Amino acid sequence: MNFKPGLEGVPVTHSSICDIDGLNGKLTYRGYPIEELAAHSTFLETTYLLIWGELPSPQKLRDFEAEVQMHRRVSFRVRDMMKCFPATGHPMDALQSSAASLGLFYSRRAIDNPQYVYDAVVRLIAKIPTMVAAFQLIRKGQDPIQPRDDLAYSANFLYMLTEREQDPLAARIFDRCLILHAEHSLNASTFSARVTASTLTDPYAVIASAVGTLAGPLHGGANEDVIAMLEEIGVPGRASEYLDQAIDKKRKVMGFGHREYRVKDPRASILQELAEELFARFGKDEMYDVATAFEKEAQDRLGPKGIFPNVDFYSGLVYRKLGIPRDLFTPVFAISRVAGWLAHWREQLGANRIFRPSQIYTGEKVREWLPLEDRDAMENV
């Protein structure tokens, strides 16, 4: 059998959700370029597009937005459960547990019922941000802030998280960030979601499994490490020295390189523009000059190898300017990616076959059973 570690380059499903042209730096959702969606759409409209395949009519979008707004609140039982989580626990672990707990309240495994599917989508899109914001306040010893019905999706999350209403520009930029992170083909967490979905379990378990996969340091969390790297560099003048050391020691450069792209990630370009827009209004982050200096140095030495900035390189700078704590960067990623995970869940149900890949066995051949009393001699071998 042909063995491909990590299934690299092995097609395992058909999908019409997302297309990546890594050689030319193109990303489309359902055929729409990411640049157009980030400029003209909203996160909830993009979510509708990803999950149901077409842009909604004005009335369908209003109905969807109203349903999401109505279901933002979470049961007091979920909040009480979260109050029992250790304050030192990672927010991704809290989110995975909270997402799974929704299945106790809403799961009927009626995945052949279109209304159940719609309701599950609405609940997960609506409640995941509320749970992320709630844990942030709970671990600080405070009661969660209830959602505000007069605020749109992204503005409401920032309000619940920071305890103050945000500038409309900040809310719009955050909404565009959610669009950029909403979907990216069959990455590790999305594959996890599809594998879980293929067993026909409930969608809350599907999302919980995807969150758990995203929590791994090889998948989510790189934007946290980018900020740490930039702070370690400290000033633009040290960018070249840091890069030299990283190359000499074969150390991974955080925020650079992507398995799909051989040019600059199109999402990184948009996020850089969003960062500059934020800084123009609210003041520059001093680490931004370090980032641009580092990118310039890396372009000459890593660019010829097809290693360019990915989505994580500038996103952390945007998030922290919005007042989002560093260890919430990945949960915010999850808030967005729920849209893509649910799109793949629905698509998997449409032509389902449970995933059951093969393996190449490398263990011992048939061995002779040895009674327990005869095994002492084995310890001396």
The CATH number assigned to the domain holding 346 equals: 1.10.580.10
The reply to whether 240 falls in a domain is: yes
**Position 356 in a domain:** no
Q: How far is 352 from 206, CA to CA, in rounded Å?
A: 14
| CATH number where 267 lies | 1.10.230.10
Question: Are 57 and 148 members of one domain?
Answer: yes
Confidence band, pLDDT 50/70/90 cuts, at residue 132? very high
The pLDDT of residue 219: 87
Same domain, 139 and 230: no
Q: Give alpha helix (H) positions in the chain.
A: 34-40, 43-52, 58-70, 76-83, 91-106, 114-138, 153-162, 168-181, 188-197, 203-214, 222-233, 239-248, 266-282, 286-301, 312-321, 329-350
Q: Which of 175, 265, 285, 312 is catalytic?
A: 312
pLDDT for the residue 287: 96
User: What is the secondary structure of 211-263 as a DSSP string?
Assistant: HHHHTSTTTS-HHHHHHHHHHHH-SGGGHHHHHHHHHHTT---TTB--SS-SS
| pLDDT tens per residue across span 173-206 | 999 999 999 999 999 999 999 999 999 999 999 9
In a shared domain, residues 64 and 193: yes
Alpha-carbon distance of 292 to 164, in angstroms, equals 31
- Contact of 223 with 56, CB cutoff 8 Å: no
| Stretch 83-94: mean pLDDT | 96
Specify the number of domains making up the chain.
Answer: 2
Which residues make beta-bridge pairs with 20?
27
Torsions phi, psi for 3 (to 5 deg): -105, 125
Are 174 and 230 found together in one domain?
Answer: no
**CA quadruple 231, 235, 236, 241: dihedral, nearest 10:** -80
Q: CA 344, CA 347: separation in Å to the nearest integer? A: 5
Q: Are 177 and 65 found together in one domain?
A: yes
Question: 71 — alpha (psi -120 to 50), left (phi > 0) or beta?
Answer: alpha
pLDDT of 252 above 70:
yes
Which pLDDT score, from 0 to 100, does residue 381 have? 58
Segments forming the whole domain that contains residue 90: 14-215+328-350
pLDDT of residue 380: 64
Residues 152 and 244 in one domain: no
* Whether pLDDT at 108 is above 90: no
Where is pLDDT greater, at 3 or 355? 355
374 part of the active site: no
Instruction: Check if 80 is active-site.
Output: no
Q: What percent of the chain has pLDDT over 70?
A: 99
For the stretch 320-368, pLDDT in tens is 999 999 999 999 999 999 999 999 999 999 999 999 999 999 999 999 9
**Contact of 158 with 188, CB cutoff 8 Å:** no
Buried b (16+ CB within 10 A) or exposed e, 8-36: eeeeeeebebbebeeeebebbbbebebbe
The reply to whether 40 falls in a domain is: yes
Options 181, 184, 258, 344, the catalytic residue: 258
**pTM of the full structure:** 0.95
Kindly state the average pLDDT of the residues 129-156: 97
- Residue 197, classed as helix, strand or coil, is helix
Q: Which two tokens stand for residue 193?
A: 């979601």
- For all residues of the chain together, what is the average pLDDT? 95
Residue 32 forms beta bridges with which residues? 29
Nearest to 188 by CA among 167, 211, 169: 211
| 169 and 46 in a common domain | yes
How far apart CA 316 and CA 177 sit, in angstroms, is 11
DSSP state of 151: S
Q: What is the pLDDT of residue 355?
A: 95
